[in-house]
């Protein structure tokens, strides 16, 4: 994310930090444990893998 898509009264850096914090929740060990504990079949594993790839992609948008 280079800049916000909407004009807001906050600095771009602050918006990027807030969004990065939201995506950072996905790396919380408790969140990861609950996701793995909820796996019931191979389709759940595929779904979680696709989500993890996309989440990592979003997280690296801010580098």
Q: What is the pLDDT of residue 37?
A: 95
- Structural domain spans, the chain: 28-63
36 touches 30 (CB < 8 A): no
* pLDDT at position 62: 63
**pLDDT (0 to 100) of residue 61:** 73
Whole-structure pTM over 0.85, yes or no? no
Whole-number Å distance between alpha carbons of 47 and 49: 5
pLDDT in tens, 26-58: 788 998 899 999 999 999 999 999 988 887 887
Could you count the other beta carbons within 10 Å of the beta carbon of residue 35? 15
Tell me the angle at which helices 12-24 and 42-60 cross, rounded to the nearest 10 degrees: 160
With bands split at pLDDT 50, 70 and 90, how would you rate the model's confidence at 63? low
């Amino acid at each position: 994310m280079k800049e916000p898509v909407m004009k807001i009264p906050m600095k771009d850096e602050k918006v990027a930090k807030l969004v990065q914090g939201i995506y950072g929740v996905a790396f919380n060990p408790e969140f990861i444990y609950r996701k793995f504990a909820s796996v019931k079949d191979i389709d759940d594993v595929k779904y979680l893998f696709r989500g993890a790839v996309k989440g990592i992609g979003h997280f690296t948008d801010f580098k």
